[in-house]
Chain A
Amino acid sequence: MNKILKDKLRQNKEAWKDLFHIITRELYNIFTDKGVLIIFFVACIVYPLVCGLIYNKEMMRDMPIAVVDLSNSSSSRKYLRLVDATPEVKIEYRCSSLEEAKQLQKKSRVHGIILIPNNFNQKLNKGEQASISVYNDLTSFFWYRNMALATSYTSQTMSAPQPFQTIQHVLYNPGGYPSFILPAVLILILQQTLLIGIGMLAGTASERNKLHTLIPRDSHYRGMLRIIFGRGLAFFITYIPITVYMLVIIPKLFNLPQLAPNVFSVLWFVTPYLLAVIFLGMSISVFFQNRENSIPFYLFMSLPFIFLSGMSWPREAMPKFWEMFSHIIPSTDAIQGYIRMMTMGADMKQVSLEHFTLWILAGVYFIIAFITYSWRIKRDVK
């Protein structure tokens, strides 16, 4: 009885020793590989800074437009003065004909045209409904948006008071586009760099280890659980400081909304996310024979992943298939939860579904990593 217990304890001790050995060795592999360090550290430090600079803090203001004032009356001038005063647009050209204005729009000098017909003043004076024509530039959604806001606001200002008033409030992220897209990009960068880096290391191991095996021939590398946990934890430890930088420091630096109750709950929320990404990366990495192949393989996915996250395109409007598929990708639920915590001040209870999904993903990808690693090691031994 006593002997069995002792045996068990010894085995246990050995397992911990192996695990510790594997973690240190994997950390050594990570920190001595220049290519991986560039992906993990340089990309993660530089990319958010560059993106933050590109997305200027303010929403688009003073979009240039052209006006054709055929009425040239006091009321048309008043209307145009009010339009010009809106933050959305700025009257850059006053044209004598619509043709002239359209030429300017074709050449992208202006991104919208307002035409006031010559009967504008008479109609208003006679108490009839007058109309103005707006020609939108449809090469970008934002041109249309600014023009629509400016003209409808002005028309409402010049109307008589209504029986009841409508007031709108933007409860979360009044900053608009820039502070909406950046947090999603931050989460996505964590995933993409991890996937690429893990693939790179596996490809390197395949190229470098004798007999092109994934696992070094080392007496401590035994027991599949130890190998997978050891490797996974090494990546996890490496990504702790990177995650803090990306999700806590960068939002401070760029003044993004930070309504999360506290930083630790955010970090606790992304813990299963990192694990899920790491095990997903490890599951796929067994197929990389060369270290460079992970870049072409993962790079193109970044854009579809942003769309699948449901941030830029509402999930209610997605086809059912893609909506279901999106939850296989860890970034989907992580982006949703992170943004709701940071931008909308949701607490852990309000993102519990996402958190749970991420734990499930971490578990499932762990099992898949176990299977693909076993397959690869068996093949390598042959």
Chain B
Amino acid sequence: MENGIIPVIKRELKLMVSRPIYIMMTIIIPLIIILFFSTFLNNGMPSDLPIGIVDLDNSSTSRLITRNLDAGQVCEIEYKLSSFEQAQDQMQRENIYAFVLIPRNFQADLLSGKNPQIVFYTEYAHYLAGSAAMKEINTILVTMSSGVNLKIRLAKAEDKAKAMANIQPIKIDSHLIGNPLMNYSYYLSSIIMPGIIFLMSLICSIYAIGTELKFQTSPNWLHASGGSLSKALLGKLLPYTLIYSIMLVFSYVIMERVLGFPTKGNILLMFGGSVMTIIAYQAAGIFIIGVLPMLRDALSVGAFYGVLGFTLTGFTYPNFAMLPAVKPFTLLYPLTQYYTLYANIQINGLSLNESYMPYLALLAFVILPLTIIKRLKSACINLDFKRE
């Protein structure tokens, strides 16, 4: 019988189609993830957030404020309440994310120049909804206050431009390069979708190698490669590298063509980086099963390591704000490099020359398996590891 990489690949493909869990890991789970994250966040902007109003003034001005708040894009007034306590109760029931309290005699105080206050209450227990509501309510109220100001000044026969300059002397021109719509989907899906595909490539390589050890078929596997563990590993994992790369390409097509994510840089650079990230995770998988040649221990460790990557990578919460002692651990994850690549290439439009470090870091992960190759080979041939 022939031996080398090709027979190992053939052997692996047979294994793959014979057990449903492989189809699950390589095809079904990535597809579910792509489907979920491409449909879940809708247009990427929170809308229709219910808020409440406590109008103790009940004047034409307070009703105008209510109407304006209701007309906002993000919030909708769902409850008209009569007291702070009532509003708080609605908030605790999660029926509203924020409420605005207009005090008694508000209009009268405003007209007599007593500079009254409007207080609004939000919560950060639902962080995104709370901050989105806060931002919109604040903008609407400040704009209205300026509007009142403008009316007063125009009535005093002030020039309009001058009046505006008095009301708001410094205007901010905000440049939202890369994500003009402030679309949350761009931030989240662009990393989570590929991130879970990477996670599965890690788990799958541990599973594929560990199964050989568990069912003691590893001598067989090595035999097919002609006794070379590196050929055996290449032949075993190459099919998965290919399948996961195809899944990534598919997720890119969905993100760019269907969801319209911004793309600035060279897409080939990005694909190259993604394939290298898959390989880096597979290398980490070989390392884990090499250190712990028992399938279930290796899988538990791999799961722990892999999932933590989503917290540590910094796309949900910047590394910048983490404890200094935690920061070095972010380097343990290929996903950290992928996120840097995505930011550099897709959002900031850097060239390879300006952003080669992440590629080198991803390459460095390939060194990992080399450190345990001897041990893994001995485990494969002699099956000399602790079992239950």
Chain A residues packing against B (C-beta within 8 Å) = 34-35, 38-39, 43, 46-47, 50-51, 53-56, 58-61, 63, 79, 105-108, 111, 123-124, 127-136, 138-145, 148, 151-152, 155-156, 158-178, 180-181, 200, 257, 290-293, 295-297, 299-300, 302-304, 307, 310-314, 316-319, 321-322, 336, 339-340, 343-346, 350
Check A132/B300 contact, CB under 8 A, given A56-B323, A160-B166.
Answer: no
Interface size on B, residues (CB 8 A): 121
Q: Determine if A54 and B326 form an interchain contact, defined as CB atoms under 8 angstroms apart.
A: yes
Task: Give chain A nearest CB distance to B266 CB in angstroms.
Answer: 15
Complex formed: what's the CA distance from A200 to B296 in Å?
9
Contact of B204 among A55, A257, A296 (CB under 8 A): A296
B58 within 8 A of A: no
Q: Determine if A165 and B115 form an interchain contact, defined as CB atoms under 8 angstroms apart.
A: yes
Q: Determine if B126 and A296 form an interchain contact, defined as CB atoms under 8 angstroms apart.
A: no
Complex formed: what's the CA distance from A197 to B154 in Å?
71
Q: Determine if A317 and B42 form an interchain contact, defined as CB atoms under 8 angstroms apart.
A: yes
Interface positions of B from 165 to 182, Cβ below 8 Å from A? 165-179, 182
Name 26 A/B residue pairs within 8 A (Cβ), A-sorted. Answer: A55-B322, A60-B321, A106-B350, A127-B162, A130-B170, A131-B171, A131-B173, A134-B173, A136-B177, A138-B186, A142-B321, A160-B167, A162-B146, A164-B117, A168-B137, A171-B121, A172-B124, A173-B127, A175-B124, A176-B127, A290-B21, A299-B307, A303-B310, A314-B46, A336-B94, A346-B92
Q: Mark B263-281, 1 if CB is under 8 A from A, else 0.
A: 0000000000000000000
Q: Mark B321-355, 1 if CB is under 8 A from A, else 0.
A: 11101100000000000001011100110100010
B56 within 8 A of A: no
Chain B residues packing against A (C-beta within 8 Å) = 21, 24-25, 29, 32-33, 36-37, 39-42, 45-50, 88-89, 91-94, 97, 106, 110, 113, 115-132, 134-135, 137-138, 141-142, 145-146, 148-149, 152, 161-162, 164-179, 182, 184, 186-187, 192, 196, 199-200, 203-204, 207, 210, 214, 295-297, 299-300, 303-304, 306-308, 310-312, 314-318, 320-323, 325-326, 340, 342-344, 347-348, 350, 354, 388
Q: Determine if B49 and A344 form an interchain contact, defined as CB atoms under 8 angstroms apart.
A: no
In order of increasing CB-CB distance, the 7 nearest A-B pairs are: A139-B343, A60-B321, A172-B123, A314-B129, A129-B165, A162-B145, A346-B92
Contact of A132 among B173, B308, B318 (CB under 8 A): B173
Of A55, A139, A155, A346, the most chain B CB neighbours within 10 A belong to A139
Closest B residue by C-beta to A134: B174
Closest A residue by C-beta to B348: A106
Residues on the A chain within 8 Å of B184, using CB: 141, 313
Task: Give chain B nearest CB distance to A337 CB in angstroms.
Answer: 9
Q: Determine if B40 and A313 form an interchain contact, defined as CB atoms under 8 angstroms apart.
A: yes
Contact of A138 among B132, B165, B347 (CB under 8 A): B347
Residues on the B chain within 8 Å of A135, using CB: 175, 177
Closest A residue by C-beta to B314: A140
Closest A residue by C-beta to B299: A295
Complex formed: what's the CA distance from A350 to B172 in Å?
42
Closest B residue by C-beta to A172: B123
Q: Determine if A43 and B304 form an interchain contact, defined as CB atoms under 8 angstroms apart.
A: yes
Complex formed: what's the CA distance from A184 to B129 in Å?
15
Q: Determine if A303 and B196 form an interchain contact, defined as CB atoms under 8 angstroms apart.
A: yes
Q: Determine if B115 and A161 form an interchain contact, defined as CB atoms under 8 angstroms apart.
A: yes
Q: Determine if A34 and B94 form an interchain contact, defined as CB atoms under 8 angstroms apart.
A: no
Task: Give chain B nearest CB distance to A184 CB in angstroms.
Answer: 10
Q: Determine if B29 and A300 form an interchain contact, defined as CB atoms under 8 angstroms apart.
A: yes
Residues on the B chain within 8 Å of A166, using CB: 117-118, 120, 138, 141-142, 145
Residues on the B chain within 8 Å of A304, using CB: 33, 36-37, 40
Q: Determine if A350 and B92 form an interchain contact, defined as CB atoms under 8 angstroms apart.
A: yes
Q: Determine if B120 and A60 form an interchain contact, defined as CB atoms under 8 angstroms apart.
A: no
Task: Give chain B nearest CB distance to A330 CB in angstroms.
Answer: 18
Task: Give chain A nearest CB distance to B22 CB in angstroms.
Answer: 9
Contact of A340 among B94, B166, B321 (CB under 8 A): B94
Complex formed: what's the CA distance from A63 to B319 in Å?
11
